A and B are shown apart, each in its own frame.
Chain A
Amino acid sequence: MPVLHRTVVQPVVTEKSSAAYAARKEYAFMADPHATKREIKAAIEGLFNVTVVGIRTLQQRSKRRTLGRREGRRPRWKKAYVRLKPGDAIQVFEG
């Protein structure tokens, strides 16, 4: 199993993710594409000292990108939406 901050790379702060937070108190994270839900859950609990009560994941496909005439790909990654135990919070969207 990869180390915690490799499993969960960084929070995803976008319009869509902040809408998810506003509507359902779900936090979005970028995760290792090979990490399982259990691993991600453990990583978040370990990193932020919170209790995760729900987790949904999805694969973000790799996308083609060109840089001038060179063609390349952006890596695929896994996005995870997690719900926390009521009362727990992670400092992402709050002030």
Chain B
Amino acid sequence: MPDIFVTKTREEPGAKAMRVEVPLERVRAAEDKATAYYARRVRLPGFRKGKAPTAVVRKRFQEAIREEVIRELVGEGWKLAVEQEGLKPIADPRVRDLKFEAEKPVTFELLVEVKPDITLGRLGGFQLTRRVLPVRDEMVNDQIEQIRRQRAPWEPLSEPPKAGDYVQITLAIIETDQASEPKRYELVLGEGRALPEVEARIMTLKPGETGDADVQLPQDFPDPAKRGQRRTARITLHEAKRQELPPLDDGFAREVGDFDSLDALRAGARQDLEQEAARQADAEVRRQLIEQIVGANNLEAPRPLVERLLATYAQGYEIPDDQLERFAGEFRPLAEAQVRRDLVLDYVVEKQKLQATEEELDQRVAKIAGRRQADPGQVYASLQKAGRLRELERQITEEKAFAHLLQQSTVTEA
């Protein structure tokens, strides 16, 4: 049987287009195959199952057979194209300009995004700085203060509230002696959520009291005509609450978690912050490394790959169609950086065969299971179910790739 012809029509880094021509004989064979498939299976009135003559089947199932033929031929063409051109596709191809006429060869164009062939000549010898931000006492205190605030109960007040207190008010604007419909607001004073004049007035009221304040309507007031004008606001304070911070002592530490004393809690918080700082420092070193590799090798992010990633982002953020352009403009640098990073890592992983192994994955799962005090098998299953295994695998692979790359460069601690 004559061969399918595949000719490359266009190429740019990251994408290829190929023209495929399927000779008539092949088309006929595919048609016969599809017809036979239907002839065997369908039940037509007047015929027992599978007994309808092919001519009748062909006529009745014209459309379905046509589709089947196209699918078959595109599949065959694609397979051949991958083989012949040595493609490394990263997605399914798109079909364009499909021509399928009776008694003529079928032609179509395949467009596909491919992994670009890159060579990175220089991967090492870079100077990188690792700067771990020191954890200062204030930071530890801030952290503990935050925990304290999260755990503090709100107690009702009977005196006028102060900044930091939570209040419930109703507010009405008085228009020429007539008050508008009062609206209800809840806010924490001192956070700039209400007009300064209003906040100041609230702080003079006891819960249950009502008072008037002279205000200038803000520039974002709903009615444009009244913006900037002066009005009287009638404020009623319904409820005020103040947070009673728990005393900072060993008892508090015990309540927060597995800590015996306040010092232990402090040490724990410090350790968390230090770990976080180290993580950030490592991430920064990695970013520097990728940047330098990219710079040293003049690596460009291929446009098709960037477009593809942008489309994925847009889908993830559910960007409406009319904002796509603006979104793409904003996120393009980010997508380009991501594409370059992936290209570098993929290159290293492939060259050095650093792909995470099944064993390493198992070990990592066991580690996670140990931390959660769960059965590794169960953790594995739940990760698999959530589709997170590939993510984990990629993570291990990237760690290995970075470990390999960092060996070849100098990291100076700053």
Measured CB to CB, the residues of A under 8 A from B are 12-15, 17-18, 22, 93-95
* List of 6 A-B pairs having minimum Cβ-Cβ separation, nearest first: A14-B46, A95-B55, A15-B47, A18-B53, A95-B58, A15-B51
**Contacts of B53 on A, CB cut-off 8 Å?**
18, 22, 93
B56 to chain A, nearest CB (A): 6
In the bound complex, CA of A15 to CA of B49 (Å): 10
In contact, B59 and A95 (Cβ under 8 angstroms)? yes
Name 7 extra pairs, CB < 8 A, besides A18-B47, A93-B56, A95-B54: A15-B46, A15-B47, A18-B53, A18-B56, A93-B55, A95-B55, A95-B58
13 A-B pairs within 8 Å (CB atoms) are namely A13-B56, A14-B46, A15-B46, A15-B48, A15-B51, A15-B52, A18-B47, A18-B52, A18-B53, A93-B53, A95-B54, A95-B55, A95-B58
Give every chain A residue within 8 A of B58 (Cβ-Cβ).
95
Total residues of chain B contacting the partner, CB 8 A: 11
A14 to B47, CA, bound (A): 6
Give the docked Cα–Cα distance between A14 and B46 (Å): 4
Q: How far is the CA of A95 from the CA of B59 in the complex (A)?
A: 6
Per DSSP, chain A at the interface is loop
Residues of chain A lying within 8 A (CB to CB) of residue B59: 95
A14 closest partner in B (C-beta)? B46
Report B31 CB to chain A, min CB distance, Å. Answer: 10
Instruction: Give the interface of B toward A (CB within 8 A).
Output: 46-48, 51-56, 58-59
How far, in whole Å, are A95 and B55 apart by their CA atoms in the complex? 5
**Which A residues are CB-close (under 8 A) to B48?**
15
Residues of B within 8 A of A14 (CB): 46-47
CB-defined contacts of B51 to chain A, threshold 8 Å: 15
Q: How far is the CB of B141 from chain A (nearest CB, A)?
A: 86
A13 touches B46 (CB 8 A): yes
Q: Which residue of B lies closest to A22 (CB)?
A: B53
A13 contact set on B, CB distance < 8 A: 46, 56
Residues of A within 8 A of B47 (CB): 14-15, 18
* Chain B residues whose CB sits within 8 angstroms of the CB of A17 once the complex forms: 46
Q: Please, which residue of chain B has its CB at the minimum distance from the CB of A21?
A: B53
Minimum Cβ distance to chain B for residue A74 (Å): 14
Q: Which residue of A lies closest to B55 (CB)?
A: A95
**B44 (CB) vs chain A CBs: closest residue:** A13
Which of B46, B48, B52 is the most central at the interface, judged by chain A CB atoms within 10 Å of its CB?
Answer: B46
Is there contact, CB below 8 Å, between B46 and A94? no
Min C-beta distance of A72 to chain B, whole Å = 20
Most buried by A among B47, B53, B59: B53
Closest chain A residue to B57, Cβ basis? A95
Give the Cβ gap from A14 to chain B, nearest Cβ, in Å.
3
Measured between beta carbons, the chain A residues less than 8 angstroms from B46 are: 12-15, 17
CA distance A58 to B52 in the complex (A): 24
Residue of A with least CB distance to B54: A95
CB distance from B66 to the nearest CB of A (A): 13
Which residues on the A side are within 8 Å of B54 (C-beta)? 95
Once bound together, how far apart are the Cα atoms of A93 and B60, in whole Å?
A: 11
Q: Which residues of B contact A12 (CB under 8 A)?
A: 46
- Chain B residues contacting A15 (CB-CB under 8 Å) are 46-48, 51-52
- Report the Cα distance A12→B44, complex, angstroms: 13
- Closest chain A residue to B59, Cβ basis: A95
B58 nearest in chain A by CB position: A95
Kindly provide the distance from the CB of A21 to the nearest chain B CB, expressed in whole angstroms. Answer: 8
CA distance A48 to B55 in the complex (A): 19
Give the distance in Å from the alpha carbon of A90 to the alpha carbon of B46 in the complex.
19
Q: In the complex the two chains form, what is the Cα distance from A18 to B47 in whole Å? A: 10
A15 CA / B39 CA spacing, docked (Å): 13
A34 nearest CB across to chain B (Å) = 24
